[in-house]
Amino acid sequence: MTIFLYVLAAIVLLIVVLGLIAPNNYQVRRSIIIHRPLPETFQYLKSIKNQDNWSPWKKKDPNMRQTFEGTDGEIGFVSKWKGNKDVGEGEQEIIAIVENESIDTELRFFKPWKSQSIGHLLVDKVDENQTMVTWGFSGRNPFPLNIMILFVNFEKAVGKDFEEGLESLKELLERK
């Protein structure tokens, strides 16, 4: 029985130490230059429904169920989804728009686990016919979920999806 208590205490101590050293905040961002004028690119990005045309998650589950509330492209618009294990269940709400600069959304995930993040779409003028688009999100992982960041390369896993999505966006907008 004493050995069991020592092992249990060691496991608890390990979890506490890992929780203390693991980062609580995360941020993932990727950028791409698109050969389209900034206002045109921004207007396309402002519509959350357009994400279905370039989002890597829509490709992972083309049959996901979606519902929408509000006016797309305006603060308060909500896109809800329920999909397979690759996309889970959640919703995305436009919370801020700075015309021709940025769109911020609140991402609320319900499955496979509950979490909340802030999504960002930023545009910067490179020249008259080129726009830098930066797509990313940030948030907090409370203890003990923050320990997961030590063992999963979140930046690489999610960053790969952002890169795939931005490449699809570039291809789509440059075809127009």
Contact (CB, 8 A) for 139 and 117: yes
Ordered by where they begin, the domains of the chain are 2-175 (3.30.530.20)
pLDDT at 3: 83
Whether this model's pTM surpasses 0.85: no
In the chain, which residues have pLDDT < 70?
A: 13-23, 142-143, 145-147, 149-154, 176
Strand runs labelled E in the chain: 25-34, 65-69, 78-82, 89-98, 102-111, 115-127, 130-140
pLDDT of residue 28: 86
